[in-house]
Structure 1
Amino acid sequence: MNGVTRSLLVVAKYHGGDILLNGDHVWTVNLMHTGDTVTLVLPNEEATDRVDSCSAPIDIIYEDDDYLILNKPAGVATVPAHHVVTADSLVNRVKGYYQRMNYPDQVTHVATRLDKDTSGIVIFPKHRFAHAVIDQQLKQHRVVKKYQAITSGVIPANHGLIEAALERDPDSFVKRQVGTNGKYATTEYWVKQRFTDATLVDVMLHTGRTHQIRVHFNFLGHPLIGDQMYEGPTGLERQALHCYYVKFFSRFKNQYIELTCELADDMKAFLMKKV
């Protein structure tokens, strides 16, 4: 309830936290009555040696006691690769930032991820409770994320819905493809501007499959500019995809957090050449 998971209760009971009923220590079997106040006390989270810290800068869009929200540059992975011992990913950079700020919670929770060559908004919950709260919203599809993409060719419809199941490409561990045996996936888009051989679109995901936007626009016949994996034409050194908007509910502030992030410079420069 309200993001309080079984694992959080285990931490509170057995790993240095506490459960208070009207200010008094209780156990989970104690009964509550109307008007009672329950306080969940969670211990500070110590950093793990399995993740290296990195001193590279981060671009902070928003920060409070519960969430750190960043603008991820293209070319930086969200999380470190398993086969890399020392890495410069966003997670490594956030760990370095937490250390420099001497925050009590040093574990780098990450709630949303972007492909290495996709830019834009990534959400880092700053403690395990905040992570549980937003993870619940993500599973219930209540976190709104919007993207901007530059597709190849001219998309004729002003608005469209792409519904096509996605599955793993049998010849690749990373690549995905449209297939009848895949998982249901829906992508909605709105045309913002047309050029002679490209289209700027706003995109909203109704499901969150791997490479969903990239595969769906390739399936539509309009792969993203620069997306070599999915047959996109040259023009950028990475796929032209940017997460520019996010909205979710903070139970800690009892209000929605709604943020936008300007289109990445390389995508802006590409569009300027088309005008």
Structure 2
Amino acid sequence: MNTPPTLWEYRLQPEDSGHKYLSILLHKFHFSVKLLQRLKQGERVWVNGNFSYLTARGKEGDMLSLQLFSEEEASIPGEDLPLDILYEDDYLLAVNKPVGQVVHPNRRYPTNTLGNAVIGHWERKGENRLYRPIHRIDRNTSGVVVIAKNQFAHQQLAWQLERGHIHKRYHGFVEGVVQENQGAIDDSIGFAPNSFIKRQINPDGMSARTLFRVLHRYTSATFLEFILETGRTHQIRVHCEGFGHPLIGDDLYGGTKTFFDRHALHSSMYAFLHPATGLPLVIRAPFPKDLRGLIIKLRDLEI
């Protein structure tokens, strides 16, 4: 299989004149030093169609072209599994992950993961790529997961994520009626005692901030929208338990499974700047069947 090369191009602007191509890529486009070293060693840098050194200085109108690495040996086996694709181009793949699927293989779940499904999808397209998810969501959380298709895209999105430039929105159903129309939860999170899985609110833990907004109040439940300003493990689940309204079905964090058998949380939206074009890109995932069924159940309880 031969993965088609991905070409990144930029025409130098007046403010770029006199600057080294290396400096432009580092400071204007936030390329990592490691990636630029790989491009240099592979002679994958051209200016106006001719090979160039990164230390050369550019001028307005120059066309800087980089052949990004696309041909990489997959580190996990591909499998022929269903994949709900929301968006795909040469740089990114965004999918709507189903409930019950792990994002990355591990000892407990070595197969049937999202990673196996993604690699299998690329193999059927004749592409060799590494699996690089930008973020992870819990096995029983449904919704958007974004995967980088090359080292450049991964590095660019990781840069945005570290600086809070990626906006993540979740929707969930919690037990009880939340009185505030909106608010913020600022409680640090750390490991619960004697557990490698469960977290808890801990003043000595890592800072965590979750914004919430009430979308609908039911008789004994509330439909909420969450915006994460940090990305701690189980952040929404821990914060919901902490302010007295655990997610419906989340028995690990104080919820009950009376009429829903998993925590009622969905990764609805992921917004960021496209790594190649710099233009805003918004990925949205519709609710899965079980959450749509939960809405019907909650409405029936009001009758």
Same fold (TM over 0.5): yes
Q: Within 2, Cα distance between the matches of 1:166 and 1:31? A: 48
Preserved contact between residue 61 and residue 261 of structure 1 (Cα < 8 Å): yes
Pairwise mapping of residues 120-269 of structure 1 onto structure 2 (< 5 A)? 120-234=143-257, 235-269=259-293
Q: In structure 2, what residue type is equivalent to 1:263? A: F
Q: For structure 1, which runs of at least 5 residues remain unmatched after alignment?
A: none
**CA distance in structure 1 between the partners assigned to 2:108 and 2:218 by the alignment:** 41
Secondary structure at 1:214's aligned position in 2?
Answer: helix
The C-alpha deviation readout for 1:69-122, integer Å capped at 9, x for no partner, is: 1000010001111x258411111100000000112x422221121111100000
Aligned length: 271
Q: Contact 2:134 / 2:158 at 8 angstroms: preserved in 1?
A: yes
Determine if the alignment matches structure 1 residue 77 to structure 2 residue 106: no
Q: Distance in 2 between matches of 1:180 and 1:259?
A: 34
Q: Map Cα deviations across residues 127-162 of structure 1 (whole Å, 9 max, x no partner).
A: 111111111111111111100001011111110111
116 and 129 in structure 1: CA distance in 2 versus 1, 3 angstrom threshold? same
1:187–1:205: 8 Å Cα contact kept in structure 2? yes
Letter in 2 for 1:54: E
Partner of 1:26: 52
RMSD: 1.6
1-side partners of 2:280 and 2:81: how far apart?
A: 30
Report the Cα distance in structure 1 between the residues aligned to 2:288 and 2:43, rounded to whole angstroms: 42
Equivalent residue letter for 1:210:
T
1-structure distance, mates of 2:182, 2:109: 45
* Corresponding residue to 2:78 among 43, 53, 72: 53
The 3-state SS of whatever aligns with 2:178 is coil
What is the identity, as a one-letter code, of the residue corresponding to 1:79?
A: H
2:120 to 79, 87, 96: 96
Give, in whole Å, the separation in 2 of the partners of 1:17 and 1:72. 38
Q: One-letter code of the match for 1:13?
A: K
Q: Is the 8 A contact 2:85 2:93 kept in 1?
A: yes
Mapped contact 2:68–2:150 kept (Cα < 8 A): no
Distance 2:70 2:85 in 1: 23
Structure 2 unpaired stretches of 5+: 1-25
Taking structure 1 as the reference length, the TM-score comes to 0.93
The 1:195–1:226 alpha-carbon spacing in structure 2 relative to 1, beyond 3 Å, is same
- Distance in 2, matches of 1:135 and 1:263, equals 26
* Cα distance in 2 between the residues matched to 1:208 and 1:199: 23
The share of aligned pairs that are identical, in percent, is: 33
Q: Which residue of 1 aligns with 2:65?
A: 39
Q: Say whether residues 1:13 and 2:40 are aligned partners.
A: yes
The secondary structure found in structure 1 opposite 2:159 is helix
Is contact 2:102–2:109 with CA below 8 Å preserved after alignment? no
The letter for the 1-side match of 2:250 is D
| Rounded Cα–Cα distance in structure 1 between residues aligned with 2:143 and 2:212 | 18
Q: Rg: which structure is higher?
A: 2
CA distance in 2, matches of 1:89, 1:113: 12
